[in-house]
């Protein structure tokens, strides 16, 4: 968040009715510039008319431009001040407040527990209207995704805020006591789960597989005069649940929440790039922590290849910096996956090239399993992991300590313990890759251990290189298998699939680019 005071005003800008006026103490929540009056009036009219295109233009463009020009480090006018320009419409004002608080979180700092609690109350009111009222409007998928994404972010931010107790003033501690029910983890999970269940999105996606629904084909919109809000919020709430469970360290439940969405197909989650990246990042991370390395590698490869091809089209997007950050984090996670479970045949050439440029030295270290190796794993994990949270509120009567890093340290400890358990396995793998058959006695001699210890190591390898998928089926995550018969180890290595088609397609594209360049050359 921008390092600006919460009540500070922006003295710059101009046009359309003037910027917010005066010094940092001059903010008047009731002052509404002409350009904001026009913005609110038009946005309200387009929402009432279900004009999704115009709503999207105003949401993505108009709101950002006005924020940059008039409210760079100041809040927008209060909802009460703009109420006359939207006929005092209750639902519209809930949406306006959602934008108001999102702007405050992004640009104003520090936010007090009171402001955070007010934002929580607004989300409760907004989601309650969607769940229990009749919402007759269509909103852009981008806005609905941002709503769920911001809801989870503000929950995460509040958990981190209240976990840093050492620097809190007496007034801040009093506010934490006063608003102790705000952003309760059960309340957050219940709202997201309620949106999933009330929207019946899991059943809709199941019916779509049978050809009885057109949810994905219409991008979630209702072209028969209905509303897309509940259905699409329910859909994105499944991704929100995955993210929250990852922050809590409950990876199995997170993946279970995402199960209705088929990641092997194009879906509504791919329409908004923020949703697409967040889904795959958290899905991949959860699979990494559950030792489902192949699933993580496959999905990281697909999304990283997508970003390589399409990131230039999002350079003007407000989320461009976040796209680049998540891109770097996913390369770090991919480096970890490939170091623990080499599966280079699953990686596209472009992704492999980028990966080597970024992490070739660290991946070489991580193969050695010494102190430098653990330091490399520690560094990459710490850089690429989510910001884990402790959801329980603090005990304010005891000596005040910061516990905002406790959840992260626990997850790091568990991860490095898993890495340490695999220390001997890299040696087993390197030997077995050299032989099609080898006796246990001979391999034990090479590894300088007794036969009983080697059998234990081989069983450990079998265990660590297998995982249970979402259907309860045990699947292998290694590129070769082995079995023991009469004290002889038999190795069956899977042959990598040669992708001749991909190679020729890349060469054809290169030649087309060269021909295009040559055609531009002017000869005298």
Over the stretch 506-523, which tens digit does the pLDDT of each residue have? 778 778 878 878 887 777
Model confidence at 106: pLDDT above 50? yes
Whether the Cβ atoms of residue 479 and residue 493 lie closer than 8 Å to each other: yes
Q: Please give the DSSP secondary-structure letter assigned to residue 140.
A: -
More confident residue, 408 or 456: 408
DSSP code, position 483: E
The closest of 423, 236, 415, 424 to 332, measured between CA atoms, is: 415
Band of pLDDT at residue 494, cut at 50, 70 and 90: low
User: What pTM was computed for the model?
Assistant: 0.84
- DSSP-derived letter for residue 38 is H
By three-state DSSP, how is residue 151 classified? helix
- Who's near 130: CB < 8 A, 6+ residues apart? 195, 229, 230, 233
DSSP 508: H
Closest CA to 420 of 468, 373, 452, 357: 373
Calculate the CA 226 to chain-centre distance: 30
Q: Is the pLDDT of residue 22 over 70?
A: no
∠ CA 128-132-137, rounded to 5°? 85
Cβ atoms of residues 465 and 477 within 8 Å: yes
Place of tokens 């989320």: 319
CA-CA distance, 342 to 353, in Å (whole number)?
A: 16
Q: Which helix H or strand E contains 484, and what residues bound it?
A: strand 480-485
423 or 507, which is more confident?
Answer: 507
pLDDT > 80? residue 463: no
Per residue in 84-95, pLDDT (tens digit) is 999 999 999 999
Which whole number is the average pLDDT over 174-198?
A: 93
Q: How many angstroms separate the CA atoms of 82 and 44, rounded?
A: 11
DSSP E strands in 362-452: the ranges are: 437-439
**pLDDT value of residue 247:** 96
Please determine, for residue 162, whether its predicted confidence score (pLDDT) is greater than 60. Answer: yes
Per-residue confidence band for 460, with pLDDT thresholds at 50, 70 and 90: confident
pLDDT band at 38 (very low <50, low <70, confident <90, very high): very high
Residue 90 CA to its chain's centroid (Å): 31
Q: Report the pLDDT value the prediction gives residue 26, as an integer from 0 to 100.
A: 66
- What is the rounded CA–CA span in Å between residue 331 and residue 453? 36
| pLDDT tier at 479, thresholds 50, 70, 90 | low
pLDDT score at 18? 37
Cβ distance 288 to 333 under 8 Å?
yes
Residue 510: what pLDDT?
79
* Tens-digit pLDDT profile for residues 189-220: 999 999 999 999 999 999 998 888 889 989 98
Please give the pLDDT value at position 229.
94
Residue with tokens 């034990």: 444
Least confident segment among 107-111, 143-147, 398-402: 398-402
pLDDT at 300 over 50: yes
Q: What distance separates the 2 farthest-apart alpha carbons in the chain?
A: 88
Paired strand residues for 164? 402
**Of the candidates 57, 71, 54, which has an alpha carbon nearest to the alpha carbon of residue 17?**
71
3-class state of residue 475 by DSSP: strand
Q: How far apart are CA 24 and CA 74, in angstroms?
A: 8
C-alpha to C-alpha distance for 45 and 225, rounded to whole angstroms: 16
- Is it true that the peptide bond before 449 is cis, omega within 30 degrees of 0? no
Strands 466-468 and 488-493: unpaired
pLDDT computed for residue 63 by the predictor: 93
Give the whole-number percent of the chain exceeding pLDDT 90.
49
Question: What mean pLDDT comes out for the span 463-485?
Answer: 72
Residues 6+ apart with CB under 8 A from 476: 465, 466
Q: With bands split at pLDDT 50, 70 and 90, how would you rate the model's confidence at 11?
A: very low
Q: What is the rounded CA–CA span in Å between residue 159 and residue 394?
A: 10
Which tokens belong to 114? 């009171």
Residue 524 binned pLDDT confidence (cut-offs 50, 70, 90) = low
List pLDDT tens digits, range 331-385.
Answer: 999 999 998 888 878 888 889 999 999 999 998 888 877 778 889 999 999 999 9
Q: Which two tokens stand for residue 194?
A: 């309620």
C-alpha 165/C-alpha 396 separation (Å) is 9
Q: What is the mean pLDDT of the chain?
A: 85
pLDDT at position 10 over 80: no
**DSSP labels for 52-100?**
HHHHHHIIIIIHHHHHHHH-SSSPPPPHHHHGGGGTT-HHHHHHHHHHH
State how far the Cα of 518 lies from the Cα of 512, in Å rounded to an integer.
10
pLDDT at position 497: 54
In the block, residue with structure tokens 């779509």: 208
Contact 412, 378 (CB under 8 A): yes
In the chain, the N- to C-terminal Cα span, in Å, equals 57
Please count the CA atoms within 13 angstroms of the CA of 119 that sit on its side-chain side. Answer: 25
pLDDT at 2 over 60: no
Reading the block at residue 152, the tokens are 């989870």
The Cα 432–Cα 410 span in angstroms is 34
Confidence of residue 505 (pLDDT cuts 50, 70, 90): confident
Confidence of residue 23 (pLDDT cuts 50, 70, 90): very low
User: Confidence class of residue 125 from pLDDT cuts 50, 70 and 90?
Assistant: very high
């Amino acid at each position: 968040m921008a390092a600006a005071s919460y009540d500070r005003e922006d003295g710059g800008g101009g046009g359309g009715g003037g910027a917010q006026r005066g010094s940092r103490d001059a903010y008047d929540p009731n002052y509404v510039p002409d350009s904001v009056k026009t913005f609110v009036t038009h946005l309200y009219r387009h929402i009432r008319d279900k004009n999704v295109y115009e709503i999207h233009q105003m949401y993505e463009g108009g709101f950002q431009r006005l924020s940059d020009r008039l409210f760079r480090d100041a809040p927008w006018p209060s909802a009460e001040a703009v109420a006359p320009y939207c006929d005092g419409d209750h639902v519209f004002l809930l949406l306006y407040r959602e934008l108001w608080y999102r702007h405050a979180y992004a640009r104003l700092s520090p936010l007090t527990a009171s402001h955070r609690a007010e934002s929580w109350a607004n989300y409760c009111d907004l989601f309650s209207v969607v769940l229990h009222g009749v919402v007759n409007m269509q909103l852009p998928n981008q806005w609905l995704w941002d709503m769920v994404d911001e809801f989870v972010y503000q929950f995460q931010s509040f958990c981190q805020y209240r976990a840093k107790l050492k620097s809190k003033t007496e007034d801040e501690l009093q506010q934490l006591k006063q608003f102790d029910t705000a952003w309760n983890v059960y309340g957050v999970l219940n709202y997201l789960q309620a949106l999933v269940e009330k929207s019946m999105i899991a059943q809709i996606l199941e019916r779509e597989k049978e050809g009885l629904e057109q949810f994905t084909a219409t991008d979630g919109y209702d072209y028969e005069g209905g509303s897309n809000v509940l259905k699409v919020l329910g859909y994105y709430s499944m991704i929100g649940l995955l993210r929250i469970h990852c922050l809590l360290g409950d990876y199995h439940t997170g993946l279970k929440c995402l199960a209705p969405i088929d990641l092997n197909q194009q879906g509504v989650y791919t329409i908004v790039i923020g949703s697409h990246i967040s889904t795959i990042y958290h899905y991949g991370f959860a699979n990494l922590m559950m030792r489902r390395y192949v699933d993580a590698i496959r999905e990281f490869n697909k999304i990283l290849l997508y970003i390589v091809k399409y990131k230039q089209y999002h350079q003007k997007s407000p989320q461009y910096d976040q796209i680049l950050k998540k891109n770097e984090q996913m390369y770090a996670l991919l480096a970890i996956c490939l170091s623990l479970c080499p599966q280079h045949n699953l990686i596209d050439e472009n992704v492999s090239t980028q990966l080597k440029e970024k992490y070739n030295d660290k991946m070489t270290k991580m193969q050695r399993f010494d102190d430098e190796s653990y330091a490399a794993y520690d560094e990459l994990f710490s850089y690429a992991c989510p910001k884990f949270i402790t959801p329980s509120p603090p005990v304010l009567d005891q000596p005040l300590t910061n516990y905002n890093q406790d959840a992260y340290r626990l997850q790091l400890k568990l991860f490095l313990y898993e890495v340490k358990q695999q220390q001997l396995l890299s040696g087993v793998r390197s030997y077995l890759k050299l032989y099609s058959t080898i006796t246990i006695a001979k391999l034990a001699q090479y590894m300088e251990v007794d036969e009983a210890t080697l059998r234990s190591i081989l069983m450990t390898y079998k265990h660590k290189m297998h995982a249970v998928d979402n259907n309860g089926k045990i699947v292998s995550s290694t590129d070769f298998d082995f079995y023991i018969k009469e004290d002889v180890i038999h190795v069956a290595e899977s042959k990598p699939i040669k992708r001749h088609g991909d190679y020729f397609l890349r060469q054809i594209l290169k030649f087309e680019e060269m021909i295009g360049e040559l055609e531009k050359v002017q000869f005298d």
